[in-house]
Structure 1
Amino acid sequence: MAKTAIIVLAASDTPEGRGRMVHAIHAARELKTAGEEIKMLFEGIGVTWLDAFHKADHPFTQNYGSVFEEIKDTIEGACNFCTTGRFEVGDAVETLGIPLLGPEGGHYSLGNLVANGYQIVTF
């Protein structure tokens, strides 16, 4: 069984970022459906997607919220610093029940994923 970590780094407010997120959630759903081991993580400005998915009236959520709900159980978490210190989306992340990763006020290290055999795919 393949072990894949999908890392979302794309911004939520650009056409490029929206395209990347569509591909990220569809890839997560495809791998999950195939029975593969998958973890999805949000890093950098990618954490702003969690704020978008927190809002039922957000256009992206209206179109892709059902796919997000299908893969929500694959979400390992969101970078602590990026969520709380840089992009201030902590309330949305908490409401969604997404864990914060990394030390308080710090970044999450992807090294453990690599050491445990995960292939890293970034969007």
Structure 2
Amino acid sequence: MQKIAIVVLSDTESGEGLGRIVNALTAAREYKEAGDDMSISFTGAGTKWPAALSDTAHPAHGLYEAVRDRVAGACGYCANAFGQTDAVRACGMPLLEDFGQNMSFRKLTQAGYQVVTF
């Protein structure tokens, strides 16, 4: 069993961003289906994704729903910086504030997770 932490940093506002989120969610589904210890976090401009993916009309909504139970949360500092705090909370997602107001990458690596970024 592998320990994988998928971290989404990409913005929702580019065509490339859609490709990155689909790749992130597809990888997450693959790890989940294999029974690996896997989580997904959103940080930076990636904190815009939870609200976008919660929209049932979004093309990646189904993929998101398939792995939603593995979402750890979104960086609290970044959600605030990108105006997404309320949207993240409305999605029922916790704000990750393990290192001050920020998500901790060190906490993930100390716990033995391999960090994969999109």
TM range (shorter): over 0.9
The answer on whether the counterparts of 1:114 and 1:120 sit within 8 Å (CA) in structure 2 is yes
The answer on whether the counterparts of 2:75 and 2:96 sit within 8 Å (CA) in structure 1 is yes
Corresponding residue number in structure 2 for 1:97: 92
CA drift at 1:21 = 0.5
1:38 has 2:38 as partner: yes
The 5 Å alignment of 1:1-123 reads 1-57=1-57, 61=58, 63-83=59-79, 85-102=80-97, 106-123=101-118
Partners in 2 of 1:26 and 1:104 — Cα distance?
28
| Matched residue type, 1:67 | L
Inter-CA distance 105–64: structure 2 relative to 1 (3 Å threshold): same
The answer on whether the counterparts of 1:79 and 1:101 sit within 8 Å (CA) in structure 2 is yes
CA drift at 1:31 = 0.5
The answer on whether the counterparts of 1:2 and 1:37 sit within 8 Å (CA) in structure 2 is yes
Bigger mean CA deviation after superposition, 47-56 or 98-107:
98-107
State the percentage of identical aligned residues: 40
Extract unaligned runs of 5+ from structure 2: none
| Superimposed CA distance per residue, residues 23-82 of structure 1 (whole angstroms, 9 cap, x where no aligned partner) | 00000001001100101000100011112123334xxx2x22111011001101100011
Report the number of matched residues: 118
| Superimposed CA distance per residue, residues 77-123 of structure 1 (whole angstroms, 9 cap, x where no aligned partner) | 1000111x211112221121111001697211110110010000000
The answer on whether the counterparts of 1:81 and 1:104 sit within 8 Å (CA) in structure 2 is no
| Matched residue type, 2:67 | I
Extract unaligned runs of 5+ from structure 1: none
Inter-CA distance 27–103: structure 2 relative to 1 (3 Å threshold): closer
TM-score (norm 1): 0.89
